[in-house]
A and B are shown apart, each in its own frame.
Chain A
Amino acid sequence: MNTIFFSLLTLFSLFVFMNLGKVRASKKQTDRNDRINRFGSKQESGNKKSARSTIIEGEAEEINDNPKK
């Protein structure tokens, strides 16, 4: 009885793996901002973007500490 139960469990699980494994994960899983960043994807580019956004655009002006009176 034990053997039959675990054999069926094995076969059913392998069937589930072979079919479910080929299906794409749900949007709930893939469309997240906190996904593991293995290949330099969303999060890193997001960080770069935010780092870049701190730069103030415009022409640079020389600061003179001793202005002529």
Chain B
Amino acid sequence: MSKHSALNTFGRSGNPAFTKNFTNTDTSSLPLAERMTLDGAVNKTAVLLGLCFSGAFLGWNMPILVVPGMLIGFVLALVTIFRSPSKAGATAPFYALFQGMALGGITMFAEMQYPGIGIQAIGLTFGILASLLFCYKSGIIKPTENFKLMIVSATMGIMFLYLISFIMSFFGSGIGFIHSNGLFGIGFSLFVVAIAALNLVLDFDFIEEGAEKGLPKYMEWYGAFSLMVTLVWLYMEILRLLMKLRSR
């Protein structure tokens, strides 16, 4: 498959939230106040993080909310990505809240098994966020079309593997090495954490370019939502990796 046909098939970003086609966005007629800015996107990400932590507090104290939180969050993510990116301002806060509930409950269960693992996962997630943001802003990491193609392919491969494992679990089977705490399982988790982390670079680039091009204001919410999707994934993978390491 040639580079361009792969791009046409898989979209133009690693993050599924960015696979929509925004190439026809005409922003020349928009007044300055109605254009996307970096400040706006960062502030909205902070709002979503605050909501996610509030949801996590609820989920921690009421673990029964884990499954509904996860399902509703998943549906809201699909709605935001495929149905109404322009309504991200309405759906993204609820997505953050419900995903927070799920993460809070999951972290509580992990803490019961391995005390102190939750704060380690949170610290590592935000540590990776800050260090990759620095690398992106300073130009140490430069996302190109090839970089994006590599991340898209790896992300889709991982999602496909997880889907097959999920389907196989209904038949009492599964892909063993994904969940094992052996060297191969830990290596796989490290690879997934690396890919999830590199998706952050694509998110930063989207927000930077969106602000540069002066996209409509609602794209601030969409950019913040996309960053949240990646952060939630990264946190889950780091938690899984730490659990594997602690169980050895």
Contacts and interface: CB of A to CB of B under 8 A. Distances in A.
B137 interface: yes
Interface of B: 12-13, 18, 22-25, 38-39, 41-42, 45-46, 49, 116, 119-120, 122-124, 126-127, 129-131, 133-134, 136-139, 142-145, 147-148, 202, 205-206, 208-209, 212-213, 215
A10 B137 contact: no
Given A18-B46, A25-B208, A37-B145, A10 B139 contact: no
A67 interface: no
Interface residues of A, number: 33
Contact of B119 (A10, A25, A27, A30): A10
Given A2-B116, A20-B133, A26-B138, 19 more contacts: A2-B119, A9-B127, A13-B123, A13-B127, A21-B38, A22-B38, A23-B137, A24-B38, A25-B137, A27-B139, A29-B136, A29-B138, A30-B208, A34-B142, A35-B205, A36-B209, A38-B18, A39-B25, A39-B213
Contact of B126 (A10, A29, A37, A38): A10
Contacts of A2: 116, 119-120
Given A26-B139, A36-B12, A20 B134 contact: yes
